Structure 1
Amino acid sequence: MIFDRPVQESWGYGISVAQMLELPELAGTTCVAGAAGLRRRIERLNVMEVPDIGPWMREQELLLTTGYPLREDPEQLVDLVVELDERGAAGLGIKLGRYIDALPERVLAEAERRSFPVLTLPDIGFDDVLSVVLSEVLNRQSVLLARSEHLHHELLQRITAGEGLAEVADHVSRLVGARVLVTTADGRVLVETDRTEPGRAAHGPEGIGEDDGLERDPTGRVRVETLAYGFSDGPPQRIVVPVVAGRQDHGRLVATATRRVLEPADEHALRRAATVMALSITKQRELAAVESKYEGDFLRDVLAGRAGDPDEVVAHAAMLGWRFERPAVVLVAQHDDPPPPFRPAAGAAPPQDRFFAAWRSVVRSADPGAAVVGLGGEVVVVLGVDPARAGSVQDVVRPFVTRVAGDGGGGRRTFCTGLSRVFTDVGDLPAAYEQARSAVRVGRWLQGPGAVVEFDSLGIHRLLSLVSDPAELAGFVADTLGDLASDDPESDDLRTTLQALLDHNLNVAETARHLLFHYNTLRYRITKLERMIGPFTTDAHLRLNIAVALQALSLRSVSEALPQRVSVARSAQRGSGDAGRSR
């Protein structure tokens, strides 16, 4: 049966002109020009009865004629060939000897130039030609439709038997004879059949090569926005169909030719397969939604201290596949801006759902024992770490952030990521969660959108971030540093010198060596700094204020509000100076 093997490579909707020439009933039919276009497909036929037949012709239609309408001027066949080719016709079949004895050379030359098949027909009735060709077209289409129906039925049986998306993709790959790839709506690879052995499914972006002609970004995301739906003759040959259920866009099904030539007719079978895949994805998402709710409720109880003693928490987490018995950190990721209004009619999943799905996919592929939960507007990850590993926790997490961000699947909105200290006792998990949330809050203040911050690196910024009004901090900086807070090269250079002095406990010799200054040069700068901001070398309280002001100046929100406050401070100073002179 046809369903036990991939369809023959020559099968598609209609038949090709070359296949028509092989039909026994049409023996004697000859291609006299345009042989390079014999792959054009015939889906219907028409008979020429009037000279201006062009407007009634359709794509993939073969025109039959005796030449009678053009018998007075056969040269008009040149214009007919041009018009038929431009309308996408399959070819022209002409019966010579009755009204036209031979085709003009100009007709043959134009057909050859356009690769437009021109056929000479034997002495056979047009009704016989119509009957033979249309019967062959209908027979082939009925087989293809039956094959498509069989594929749909078999895939449904596999879904109801409990098979997942990988098994469905594997089966489609074997039946169609192509490498199959399924992505999300934004291009993250859900499943891909093996590149070296079609029909063998491989999960995720592993094993991705560059031989399939698909554009991918550095994270492995397929740039689906560059793919056109339907059949592409390549190279490589490819068929792209949407995976849609109702108005929900689940992604793309991409089939690339490997073991046989793909045909446009394969698109119909793949659309049926995509419908079943949408069912599989919907089923997985529904199960994942139930699991996520249960996991979220459990993690909330853990963070609130309602989940029981540590041993019970570890045991329950193990049932969910989470390893809470090992050293870990808590990661919290939050979008930077309020989400735009979500319109379900757009066909995509809500941004927060995609954000969570991206984190879950990226983290669980690297650490199957990690907990990844969506809590309200944030994603919480409990990630196992090796305390003995060299480097910071941020080095471990940054590859995850890179893959989730932007084209990695988390959407186009920026997000901040906060990391807690490493903890070894599950009882410390609530405190670690608060540390990670503080890192997100302060990191956004300190670095702006897209910050990745560890709690241990916050220092005094933890306190500064609690000041809700950036203008208040900007006023403190302007009052403490005066003109030194200005945004110009000289002030920036002097602030660098001042920070180096504070870092070296006002040790002039060590600071000079660190800055590569001559000792006397640094002494001169200290004198200049004290004229600007006061006797910081002898006043410990002033030094504290200066140190805090320098740290506050590094906050993005303060630096944005500062120019106006510096201008106000300068105006006040000039006003007091004028008043003194008038007295």
Structure 2
Amino acid sequence: MVNVAKDDALVDAELPSASPLTAPPSHDLVGGVSLERLLALPSLAGARLLHDPDEPARGVSRASLLGAAPEPRHHLVCADAETIEAWQAAGRDPFEQCSLDGATALAVAGGTSDQALHWGSQAAAARLPLVLASRTAAPERIVTEVLEAVLDQQAGILERVEEAHQILVGVVLAGGGLEDLCQQLAGFLGGAAMVTTSDGRVLASAGSEADLAAALSLDCFDRTGRLITEHEPVGIRPPHGASARRAMVRIAAGNLNHGLLAAFVGDRALTADDVHLLERAATVAALAITKEQAVSAVESKYRAEFLRDALSGRAGSPTEAVAHAASLGWDIDRRLVVVVAETDEDDAHSTRSPEEVGVLQERFSRAWSQAMAVRDPRAPVMGFSQEVVALCGVSPTADTDAIMRTVSEVVRVISGIGGGGRRTFSTGVSRPIDSVADLPQAYDEALSAVSVGRQLHGDSAVTHFDGLGVFRLLALIPDSADLRRFVDESLGGLAADDSPENVDLRRTLSILIDTNMNVAETARRLFFHYNTLRYRIVKLEKMLGPFTTDPQLRLKLALALKVHQMRGI
């Protein structure tokens, strides 16, 4: 316990020593008015606050007389010396009871120096802050003044929040967007403010460079810069620890969740009042997002129609198409590759509602637009049904590997490290083109790459058209049952994965064919002894026929092995 103020009536009492109390924070604590501020009330003039400096300071949101409130949590419980003595005479401990009930503190009016010393020790044992008021103070008067102070504070908070709300609404009505809202909010709270999607991608942010850098370095962001929303609670947080310096609230309009509004400060804990301000700001952010979506929907309609025409070869002459794209802010008069990204979840057979599917697809399209805007601001990016199409500019000297590194980096940014409700997607990349007239062919190549790539590599595949090889011909066969029969007829028992031996023999056969029947090289790759491999070849020929001497049989087996790699057949 520690002395905060002096009372002449009790000045001679020797109370338990402790280190000095740190200065109270400039903002009110979560839950109400700080005890230190209440000592300025007339009824508590000259009172002493005995407080354990190792315990976090607590706020007062209510006040009542001892025994009047069954659950005095966040209460300042008030009593006079006679009441305390009466409780103790009856075998009850008022200090322990208030502490168990979660009272903020116990204020006692009157009492002798000896009583003050005894009460201080008991309050310290119960880890309960104790306010020792003068003998002239009346507990009823203390309760009244504390309630008035709480009401005055709440009125001031509401006035502050209402003023901020009006300012934020004015920003939106004046044509401002999410960046402007974040700028105002960062000014209100200090530190940094951000708007993210519901899966954590940052849409807008504001604050000084130092504040933003400090926020992004926190453990609530992954290495791609995504806010890990699945681990971050919304609303009021406990006022202890580093996480108390950040807060998030949902941005919702009707039944739609548009994301999160987050605040980050470095020098204090965000209070319940700050969170209330964030909630009011979130309603304005929902208005701004809804307005942007309405405008974007109209613009997207015309952009989508033009890009559809360009991809199908109906956008007019190359000169007309380039000029039209330029009017939309796009540059297609350069070397391009077409990138198609499709969600791996089949929305046509999904258990999700159409509204939820629409929101998820819009989020997916927006993620691609944002990621591409950082790398190539004038690249066309549009969402169509279950796919997103992007025309990415590439260097005239870029080879396939360089192109795939660039596309893979964009995919990595959009995918993040998982979480946040993100859906997996597969990506296909076309060959480079130098003329708008070649867009339809490039689009078909990207579609083939994403479809066949998913069959070969599973979900989240990133595939270039040149990497398909013979698989793109096999993918043209519409009936997968025909492919399955071909595999079964060609490989026989090796087509099944019911035993490790079949899998092992099939791998041996694949490497033999890949090395053009080079036994020594195959043995080296498989780490087999030469004679062991010769024994396996004899066994394979008994099962499949003389493939070592029959080139047509080898071709048939090679195709069957390729088909076997494809999924969904």
1:238 to 1:232, Cα distance in 2 relative to 1, 3 A: farther
Q: Does residue 40 of the first structure (1) align with residue 55 of the second (2)? A: no
Matches within 5 A, 1:436-447: 436-447=446-457
Q: Which residue is equivalent to 2:13?
A: none
Query: In structure 2, do the counterparts of structure 1 residues 97 and 509 end up closer, same or farther at CA, with 3 Å as the change threshold?
Result: closer
| Equivalent position to 1:82, from 96, 111, 122 | 96
Say if 1:351 and 1:411, in contact at 8 Å, map to a contact too: no
1:568 maps to what in 2?
none
Task: Identify the residue that residue 22 of structure 2 maps to in structure 1.
Answer: none
Task: Give 1:352's match in structure 2, choosing from 361, 368, 373.
Answer: 361
- The letter for the 1-side match of 2:430 is S
Q: 1:95 aligns with which of 99, 106, 109?
A: 109
Instruction: Say yes or no: does 1:61 pair with 2:75.
Output: yes
AA paired with 1:541? Q
Structure 2 partner of 1:9: 26
SS in 2 for 1:556: coil
Matches within 5 A, 1:474-553: 474-487=484-497, 488=499, 490-506=501-517, 527-553=538-564
Matched, 1:365 2:374: yes
Q: Which residue of 2 aligns with 1:404?
A: 414
With over 3 angstroms needed to count, the CA separation of the structure-2 counterparts of 1:397 and 1:114, relative to structure 1, is: farther
Segment drifting more, 540-549 vs 491-500: 491-500
TM-score, structure 2 as length reference: 0.84
Whole-angstrom distance in 1 between the partners of 2:409 and 2:131: 62
For the pair 1:433 / 2:443, whether they are aligned, the reply is yes
Kindly provide the amino acid, as one letter, of the partner of residue 149 in structure 1.
E
Deviation at 1:301, TM superposition (A): 1.2
1:238 matched to 2:255: no
Q: What amino acid maps onto 1:532 in structure 2?
A: M
- SS of residue matched to 1:439: helix
CA RMSD, 1 decimal: 3.3
Asked if 1:418 corresponds to 2:418, the answer is no
Which residue does 1:174 correspond to in 2?
Answer: 187
- Whether the 8 Å CA contact 2:165–2:281 is kept in 1: the answer is yes
Q: Secondary structure at the match of 1:59?
A: coil
How far residue 324 of structure 1 moved from its aligned partner, in angstroms, is: 0.7
- The alignment's TM-score, normalised by the length of structure 1, stands at 0.82
Matched, 1:137 2:142: no
Distance in 2 of aligned mates of 1:252 and 1:136: 33
Counterpart residue identity of residue 444, structure 1:
R
Give the partner amino acid of 1:460. Answer: V
Q: 2:120 aligns with which of 105, 108, 116?
A: 108
CA displacement at 1:222 relative to structure 2: 1.4
Shift of 1:95: 1.8
* Secondary structure of residue in 1 paired with 2:128: coil
Number of aligned residue pairs: give it: 536
**Corresponding position: 1:225 with 2:225:** no
Aligned to 1:563: none
Counterparts of 2:282 and 2:324 in 1: how far apart (Å)?
37
Q: Which of 366, 389, 398 is 1:389 aligned to?
A: 398
- The aligned amino acid for 2:176 is E
State the distance in 2 between where 1:523 and 1:189 align: 60
**Per-residue CA shift, 1:384-424, capped at 9, x if unaligned?**
12242352533222222233237568844332211111111
CA distance in 1, matches of 2:519, 2:447: 40
Q: Which amino acid aligns with 1:152?
A: H
Distance 1:514 1:172 in 2: 62
2: CA distance between counterparts of 1:514 and 1:271?
Answer: 62
What SS class does the counterpart of residue 265 from structure 1 fall into?
helix
Match of 2:198 among 169, 181, 185: 185
CA contact (8 A) 2:198 2:420 kept: no
The range that moved more, 434-443 or 458-467, is: 458-467
Letter in 2 for 1:351: L
Answer whether contact 2:415 2:422 (CA < 8 A) is retained: yes
Identity %: 40
Deviations 1:478-510, CA, capped at 9 Å, x for gaps: 322334445455555554454445445556677
**Whole-Å separation in 2 of the counterparts to 1:345 and 1:104:** 67
Query: In structure 1, what is the Cα distance between the partners aligned to 2:173 and 2:463?
Result: 46
Unaligned runs of 5+ in 1: 1-7, 559-583
Contact kept in structure 1, 2:195 and 2:261, CA below 8 Å: yes
Rounded to whole Å, the distance in 2 between the matches of 1:295 and 1:442 is 28
After superposition, where does 1:553-572 map in structure 2 within 5 Å? Answer: 553-558=564-569
Provide structure 2 residue ranges, at least 5 long, that are not aligned to the other structure.
1-24
How big is the shift at 1:125?
Answer: 3.5
Q: What is the SS of the residue equivalent to 1:28?
A: coil
Amino acid at match of 2:197: T
**1:370 positional shift:** 1.7
CA–CA distance in 2 between the matches of 1:280 and 1:479? 62
**Letter paired with 1:384:** G
Q: Secondary structure at the match of 2:26?
A: coil
After superposition, the Cα gap between the structure-2 partners of 1:523 and 1:89, relative to the gap in structure 1 and judged at 3 Å, is closer
